[in-house]
Structure 1
Amino acid sequence: MNWIESAISAVSPRWAAKRERARLEAYQNQKLLQIVNQGYGDHGASRSKKSMKAWNPSAGDAEADIHENLEALRPRARDLFMGGALSNGALKTLRTNVIGTGLRLKPSFDADFLRLSEEDAKKLKRQIEREFALWAESKDCDAAGMHNFYELQQLAFLSKMMSGDVFALLPLLPRKHALYDLRVRILEADRCSNPRNLDVSKYGRISNGVEVDKDGMVSAYWFSDKHPGSYNLKPMKWQRVEVVGKESGRRNVLHLMEAERPEQRRGVPILAPVIESLKQLERYTEAELMAAVISGMFTVFIESETDDPDEFAVPPTDNPTGEPIPTSDDELRLGNGAVQILRPGEKVNIANPGRPNAQFDPFVTSILRQVGASLEVPYELLLKHFTASYSASRAALLEAWKMFRMRRAWMAWDFCQPIYEEWFAEAVIKGRIDAPGFFDDPIIFKAYTQAEWHGPSQGQLDPVKEANAAVIRVENGFSTRQREAAELTGTEYESNVRQLAYEKDLREQYGLTVDKNIAEGGEEENAEEDQT
């Protein structure tokens, strides 16, 4: 105890005792922190470092962290898509590369298990393709009658990315002149919500319109009869739709979403992690644009010492750029070549914005690299700006296509394949497709409905190198001609061979044959170019 503590103890022993207890508590807390701050406690979980003391986020479940915030995330993500060039372009880039003109069906049923001969398998394959095209390429497949199946894929995927999730109902709606009754009805994410003023005690737990049973399995969805933001003032009503029909066993609802947390029932907009960055970048861009516009204007201000407003009167003509002329003496406007009259004693001070800003493009580029990292879209592809070398551009495209293929596979599994299975069942019931034992055994059902879904090809930066690489993969058994045809040109190998055979016969019929020496000379010339 130093002399200060001794003096305090002599004057006020109680106060001195409190100071001693505080000192002991501080010492004990310090020792406790030294014990607790071990492992991650010294790093990411530290509560003693100054940089980490103010960072104490609460730990919530998917309901608290995700579901409770969707009402704010969805409108903001949609607003960015409607008004932000970068956000709009990012989502459209995803849609174009993942879906493009649509994922196309390629039946791949198990012919060996079904004991089909090669001829029977070819016949069944062509029959399935014809019948499915009859349904998929018609707008009758859409419950609203506006889109064909491939356009519905684009709509569903874009809505899923923008809102976080989207729903597809599969009702059977007979229509005049329509051969098939299966329809696809796309519902926006907001339509699935908890019902109000309705006794739901006899149902399972409902969270954001998703009903789960006691085992945590999704059993039904609750859909409102209108969008919550609709101008229709009629009271909302909800309808409960079971995921799988109890009697029919058919699937009634498809829920397209990407889960990032266990027990998560609703999806998150893909722009959610970068909403703030994109909005601030949009504001910054608008400010720079306005500053550049003002900087580019040339306005003449006339200051007069007389009270006569007509001394420097100008003819009532429009400004060169179409800017309207002020309607009163109190209104001043900038414009290209505009002339403004000031009152006696009035002066104009114009701040020079110093535009264009040389740091604008590097700053925007830096932010967009971070945005691209979150969206898994390389900066070059995000802005369609390829200025790097061939190797760097190809590496960026390959990295992007890893994500595109993943999302394409999800779209095929969650949307295309379930709808195809429902259509196939109806085609068998109506006798349009002959599939013995289709409803007798689930494994036979699976064998008949196996399919592959191919989208538009990736495209090539150097077609010659890409084609040569495909030849090498096929020759060494790393790939097949069928897969390479689908990935390189988005075509089907069997159809290509059939068309080539027809063209060969047609050329021979009219005597159009290629001189062998010319062909060999061309090959030698190409070889010499490769060596140089």
Structure 2
Amino acid sequence: MGNPLDSVINALAPQWGARRAGARQILSAYEAAKPSRTQKAKGSTLSGDLTAQIGGRSLREQARWLDENHDLVTGIFDRLEERVVGADGMGIEPIPLDTNGQRLRELSKAIKAEWAAWSLRPETTGEMTRPEMERLVVRSWLRDGEVLAQELRGRVPLYDHLTDVPYALECLEADYLPLHFNDPAQKIAAGIERNAWRRVKAYHVYKQHPGSLTNFAMATKRVPADSMIHLAHRKRLQQSRGISILHAVLQRLADLKDYEESERVAARIAAAMTMYIKKGEPHDYAVNSGKTDQGAGAALPPGQRAFQIAPGMVFDGLMPGEDVGTIQSNRPSALLDGFRGAMIRAAAAGTRMGYSTANRDYNGTYSAQRQELIEAQLGYDLLQGQFRDQWSRRVYRSWLDMAVIIGRIQLPPNLDRRTLYNAFYLGPVMPWIDPGREADAWEQLVAAGFADESEVARARGRNPQELKQSREDEIAENREKGLVFSSDAYHEFYGGKNGADPNGNPAGNGDSARARNRQLRQPADGQGGNRD
């Protein structure tokens, strides 16, 4: 028999009745959708933009507080800096090509030289080098959820460029972009102005940090989208503002900090031995006004007694009916280490970190450590790729445009202009746990043709061209001085002595060295090449 209420609703409002029936079917089809005594069936119906606007500021402030006060969180962000950009920042290896598809090495060298000079003072204050700036940008991006940088190109009123290439970055924390600046008439939401297709047109940012004591007016300025870099950690489609990478583990980390502090305090209390005197009868509690501190001779307030304790002493100062006891404590708890490790493991899973890295616990077999390192590296690579795509590539191309415009970099006539921006972006790579095994594996891959020498160099965080140039200079210097090492395969091939080749040419001659290299590559007697 049907529900009388449903019959009334179906007669008066058929569409409403249909929706009620559909919802009822869903609840019956999916058990998890049914609220129960143990299942609260919580849900979120807000858009990504509104969710970020409501909770973004609180999450950002909590993450900053933990970064400032919790050693574990500080270590997490330190390691994320190291694994995303590293000590040397994001490396750039230009690869421009000519119209025949050959690499223009001289142009690459010129670009790298100018890039290195600009990297010394890339931002407006002149206080940071590019690697230092990038590490702080990564930390702000992941901790606060987002970071911004205004690009200053060419002549800018009231600003003097600090480098030969007139291009600089004004790095801004997420606070500069107001979360609650909304103007539907201008299509502005959370400080970001968009068109009808949600393409960003401009950013409305504060002229000064809103937390500054001098920012009373809270005035904003409009910065076009092509002059602003917005690096955001988004979790949903059509989400304009970023969310801290700690958003899902903030409560766990805060609770863990409080729990550790409680255990530390309890351990300190337990370390201070506390004694008590137990008296048998009520009349034993009479005030002993004339008692003195035994052994000290100093008078005590009425009703108080004190005893000096020394190793090996014999105590015989109890009154009739009294007994001495100590307050026992089991702190720190024996379960502390296991509980803390479980909490850190869960926190690491929510921040793309490895447990061993977050907890600084590296116990385990080679296989287990390598498996964890590989899985953690996937998360680092994802963050590294996002930083490269949203920040490094845009900065490099904008800088290169300005360097070409002002003539700091001369483009050869045979350049294929489509390849001017070609470059490898080299970030930190996965470290080798067992260098011997890793080196043997790479050597086999190169010998079998499944990898090349450049790939091996990049896997170790080296620039292949710089590595080859360094090796060429090193070998030439060794031959000039008559030094022979196992890394110089030329001597093993020729069996030469004192750096002289079979024709008697000195090894230090650069032209003869290149001639010998060509000789090694030439086919012999119409057969295949001499290379192994």
Deviation, 1:508, is 2.8
Residue 426 of structure 1: how far off its partner (Å) = 1.1
Deviations 1:431-452 (A, max 9, x none): 11123699xxxx9655201211
Distance 1:195 1:274 in 2: 25
Cα distance in 2 between the residues matched to 1:38 and 1:288? 50
Q: Which structure 2 segments of 5+ residues have no match?
A: 9-18, 278-284, 303-308, 311-322, 494-532
1:47, distance to aligned residue in structure 2 (A): 2.1
Matched, 1:75 2:46: no
Give 1:322's aligned residue: none
Could you say if the C-alpha distance between residues 306 and 495 of structure 1 is closer, same or farther in structure 2, counting changes exceeding 3 Å?
same
Q: 1:277/1:177 Cα in 2 relative to 1: closer, same or farther (>3 Å)?
A: closer
Separation of aligned partners in 1, 2:327 and 2:292: 29
SS of match in other structure, 1:183: strand
Q: Does 1:92 align with 2:52?
A: no
Q: In the alignment, which residue of structure 1 is the partner of 2:201?
A: 219
Deviation at 1:105, TM superposition (A): 0.9
Matched, 1:163 2:111: no
Matches within 5 A, 1:238-387: 238-244=220-226, 252-298=227-273, 305-307=287-289, 352-387=328-363
State how far apart, in whole Å, the 1-side matches of 2:484 and 2:47 are.
71
CA–CA separation in structure 2 for the residues paired with 1:123 and 1:233: 50
- 1:218: Cα distance to partner? 1.1
Q: For residue 29 of structure 1, what is the aligned residue in structure 2? A: none
Tell me the distance in 1 between the aligned counterparts of 2:263 and 2:421: 56
Distance change >3 Å, CA 39–CA 150, structure 1 → 2: same
CA distance in 2, matches of 1:411, 1:315: 73
Q: 1:406 to 1:56 in 2, by over 3 A?
A: closer
Which amino acid is 1:220 matched to?
A
Q: Which residue of 1 aligns with 2:441?
A: 469
Please tell me whether the aligned partners of residues 194 and 222 of structure 1 are also in contact (alpha carbons under 8 angstroms): no
Task: Check the 8 A contact 1:219/1:242 in 2, yes or no.
Answer: yes
User: Which region of structure 1 is more displaced relative to structure 2, 60-69 or 397-406?
Assistant: 60-69
Q: Give the share of equivalent positions with the same residue, in percent.
A: 24
Determine if contact 2:442/2:456 at 8 Å carries over to the other structure: yes
1:44 Cα deviation after fit: 5.0
Aligned partner (choices 479, 484, 504) of residue 513 of structure 1: 484
Give the stretch that moved more between structures: 97-106 or 42-51: 42-51
Structure 2 residue 169 is matched with structure 1 residue 184: yes
- In structure 2, C-alpha distance between the alignment counterparts of 1:76 and 1:386, rounded to whole Å: 29
Contact kept, 8 Å, 1:195 with 1:238, in 2: the verdict is no
Judged with a 3 Å threshold, the aligned counterparts in structure 2 of structure 1 residues 513 and 352 are, in CA distance, closer, same or farther, namely same
Indicate how the Cα distance of structure 1 residues 455 and 35 shifts in structure 2: closer, same or farther if over 3 A, else same.
Answer: closer
The letter for the 1-side match of 2:207 is D
What letter is aligned with 1:366?
A: A
Counterpart for residue 151 of structure 1: 132
Report how many residues are paired: 448
SS of 1:453 mapped into structure 2: strand
**Matched letter for residue 47 of structure 1:** K
Q: 1:44 to 1:142 in 2, by over 3 A?
A: farther
Question: How far apart are the structure 2 equivalents of 1:407 and 1:112?
Answer: 33
| Other structure's SS at 1:256 match | strand
The answer (yes or no) to whether the contact 2:209–2:215 under 8 Å persists in 1 is: no
Q: CA deviation at 1:178?
A: 3.4
Structure 1 residues 397 and 48, CA gap change in structure 2 (3 angstroms): closer
Equivalent residue letter for 2:225: V
Q: Which amino acid letter does the alignment assign opposite residue 386 of structure 2?
A: W
Structure 1 segments unaligned to the other structure (5+ residues): 1-19, 26-31, 245-251, 317-327, 330-335, 338-346, 521-532
Calculate the TM-score normalised by the size of structure 1: 0.75
Could you tell me how far 1:92 is from its partner in structure 2? 1.3
Contact 2:27 2:34 in 1 (8 A): no
- Say which SS state the counterpart of residue 170 (structure 1) adopts: strand
Mapping of residues 366-445 of structure 1, within 5 Å: 366-435=342-411
Task: Report the CA distance shift for 1:444/1:351 in structure 2 as closer, same or farther (over 3 A).
Answer: farther
484 and 39 in structure 1: CA distance in 2 versus 1, 3 angstrom threshold: farther
Q: TM-score, normalised by structure 2?
A: 0.75
CA contact (8 A) 2:91 2:426 kept: yes
